[in-house]
Structure 1
Amino acid sequence: MWPVASAPKPLPPPAAAGSVEVRFERQRSFPGNVLQVACELLFTSYFFFWPVGTLVWLALSPWALGWCSWAKLWSFSLLYTVQLVAHRPHLGKGWPFHWLLYGPLVDYVLSYHDATVIREGPAPDSKGKYLFAMYPHGVYGVCRAFSGGVGCWRTLFPGIAARWGSFGAAFFLPGIREMSLFCGCIDASKPTLERAVRRGENIILLPGGIDEMNLTDGESKDTQLVMTDRKGFVKLAIESGMDIIPGFCFGEKCGFTTPPALHSEAPSASKDEWHVVQTLLRGRGITLMGFLDPPLGYVWGESIKVTQQKPVDETYLNEVHQEVADAVVGIFKRHKARFGYAEDETLSLVSAADAKKKVIAKKRD
């Protein structure tokens, strides 16, 4: 039994002709609730597959169940480590991913969050080339759930598939590597993304990155996006002739909390470099599942047409970048009341340098 999207509801004006709203109501039946919780747990916990794998490894050892000898366990670990370093699909074509990313798992995650997704305007041409820019990153990036699913993505963007650009370190972490590849992720470096575009693939990015993640504050009435100096994704789109489709996630900042235990410490160079403090998070109860309130909402804007250039004219780069910024701000203003944001809720665009300064100041406080 898959989550079934409810009938479209009227959108707040001004809704462009062809706009579509899809609702994923929280499952109330016992089997439906079990499925949505299981999918949410999988979706939010894969960063911790490696310690679970270590516990399984120990359980199979002669110290516990004794199902495997030390020789077999260490041989498997050695082979896995070798392929972890030597086999690099994230720099190439990645792995087949449609079966997972565009399957029912993501729809159940959206049902868990009682989510609503909106596409402004008509569906993009399935023969076009697109770069999807998602905001905000959030402390976990739960907005990624709106990039897949049967009732979600296949309904809003029929005939279109897209690869995720992910940070390179993810592909060297056990468990995270496999889940990332199964979800269609490849390395977010420009050469890898350019090869994917030449193969005819579309791209999805979270341009704000870890700097934006560190600015997540569910108690603040101001949502801050690291955007003013993040133009690399726009340049890639112009060089590749890809139209840009921006989107914004409402409720992202409230999905998880960050523990304050280390915030009182003085900032160190290593923490600023690796962002240790800000990547810690807490979810519902003792799990990493997102909180149930508020429900999530996501709005995909209309595609921003791009004229291919190489080399890219700086003036045109700034012009397109401003169009993207204006589109994201416009989405926020048009839909914030629809998704329960108060009238005094604001959206600010900051630079990466400013974001780093704000994080250091927060640590000192």
Structure 2
Amino acid sequence: MRIQFAPLRIPLQRRLQTLAVLQWIFSFLALAQCCLVIFVLLLLTDYWLIAALYAGWLYLDRDTPSSGGRRSAWIRSWVIWRYFRDYFPITLVKTAELDPEHNYLFGFHPHGILVAGAFGNFCTEATGFSRLFPGLTPYLLMLPFWFRVPFYREYIMCGGLVSSDKQSANHILSQEGGGQVAVVAVGGPPESLDARPGALTLSILDRKGFIKMALKTGAHLVPVFSFGENELFNQVENPPGSLLRTVQDKLQRLMGLAMPLFHARGVFQYNFGLLPYRSPIFTVVGKPIPVTRNLSPSHDDIERLHKLYLDQLTRLFEENKIRFGVPESSHLVLR
């Protein structure tokens, strides 16, 4: 295989975009491990008191990730996120007005490998969320495991990331006065194992916890489809039933984390590496589905709203697919 190297003369803007995405990849794949190592090293050196005091802080602050987190408007507005946005680029598309007097549960699809669209649109202000949806505050739900990592938890909460446990979602969606948005990647980590260019498979038929949460809090449901999310990385072939997929599924059930073997391009060449491809992402926010609060929803209530949500999600995809580069013959596969 002939390696295709990047040209030596590349505009500074593009180099800065690559750097922004490189630090994002590092944050997702290695920063947590680095933070844990730093914490352990502090414990084993003369600086152990710092680690001990921080451990005390972790205990006192343990409920914050499930109580709305600790966002920072300054960090969400860093200029680096604009370079991150322009690398792909990422565009947030509004299709309907959302009344800030209500709370909303955004169902984000598909999960992709690293949910780049969800991060860029809802954890930063690079795509203008506050301008498009004034009065709304978005929170992206993330696996609780990551909020147990020293130092790392402080960084991710600054962007508006919060724990994905029930207590966290309930806290956000039960706020009086409205204006709160909980963003859930409905397919979760298992869906990332199907993420590859051209894939339109969503793991959603058995995922009804978010429906029940919407009913119990009265939060309006909003389907969100991120066109281009699966085009960012290739993935080693792992069809259901294969040895690799069997191992990945077992690891996911054991650890709660998916382990997709993905690859795309590098920093100085285009053939292999962990940087995503420069492929556009269009995150389309659909119309809200009004939900009446029901503290004790029945099985039929959940099934009825779940079916309505699937119908609205499918309609959102079908109405926008040609506009955003998906062949007319392509359709969602729900499983």
| TM-score tier after normalising by the smaller chain length | 0.7 to 0.9
For 2:95 and 2:213, locate their aligned partners in 1 and report how far apart those are by CA, in whole Å.
Answer: 24
**Contact 1:134-1:204 within 8 A present in 2 as well:** yes
Deviation per residue, 1:225-244 (Å, 9 max, x gap): 11111111111111111111
Matched residue, 1:191? 167
For 1:277 and 1:70, locate their aligned partners in 2 and report how far apart those are by CA, in whole Å.
Answer: 32
Matched residue, 1:362? none
Query: Quick one: percent identity of the two aligned structures?
Result: 22
TM-score of the superposed pair, with normalisation by structure 1: 0.73
Matched residue, 1:357? none
Deviation per residue, 1:78-97 (Å, 9 max, x gap): 54455445531213341133
**Contact 2:190-2:258 within 8 A present in 1 as well:** no
Alignment of 1:54-133 (within 5 A): 71-81=45-55, 83-84=57-58, 87-88=61-62, 89-101=64-76, 104-121=79-96, 123-133=97-107
Against the structure 1 CA distance between its residues 232 and 330, is the aligned structure 2 distance closer, same or farther, given a 3 Å change threshold? same
For 1:277 and 1:211, locate their aligned partners in 2 and report how far apart those are by CA, in whole Å.
Answer: 6
Deviation per residue, 1:42-69 (Å, 9 max, x gap): 33321211455578899xx9xxxxxx99
Residue segments in structure 2 that go unaligned for 5+ positions in a row: 1-8, 268-272
2:21 to 18, 37, 40: 40
Counting matched residue pairs gives 310
**Contact 1:132-1:205 within 8 A present in 2 as well:** yes
Higher deviation after alignment, 125-134 or 91-100: 91-100
Against the structure 1 CA distance between its residues 173 and 313, is the aligned structure 2 distance closer, same or farther, given a 3 Å change threshold? same
TM-score of the superposed pair, with normalisation by structure 2: 0.79
Against the structure 1 CA distance between its residues 97 and 283, is the aligned structure 2 distance closer, same or farther, given a 3 Å change threshold? farther
For 1:300 and 1:50, locate their aligned partners in 2 and report how far apart those are by CA, in whole Å.
Answer: 30
Matched residue, 1:298? 283
Matched residue, 2:321? 336
Higher deviation after alignment, 319-328 or 264-273: 264-273
The secondary structure found in structure 2 opposite 1:131 is strand
**Contact 2:43-2:51 within 8 A present in 1 as well:** no
1:180 to 156, 165, 186: 156
Residue segments in structure 1 that go unaligned for 5+ positions in a row: 1-27, 62-67, 351-365
Matched residue, 1:49? 31
**Contact 2:90-2:117 within 8 A present in 1 as well:** no
**Contact 1:258-1:278 within 8 A present in 2 as well:** no
Matched residue, 2:135? 159
**Contact 1:36-1:109 within 8 A present in 2 as well:** yes
Alignment of 1:1-365 (within 5 A): 30=11, 32-47=13-28, 48-52=30-34, 71-81=45-55, 83-84=57-58, 87-88=61-62, 89-101=64-76, 104-121=79-96, 123-144=97-118, 145-147=120-122, 148-174=124-150, 176-200=152-176, 201-218=180-197, 221-259=198-236, 267-268=246-247, 269-270=250-251, 272-274=253-255, 278-285=259-266, 288-292=274-278, 294-350=279-335
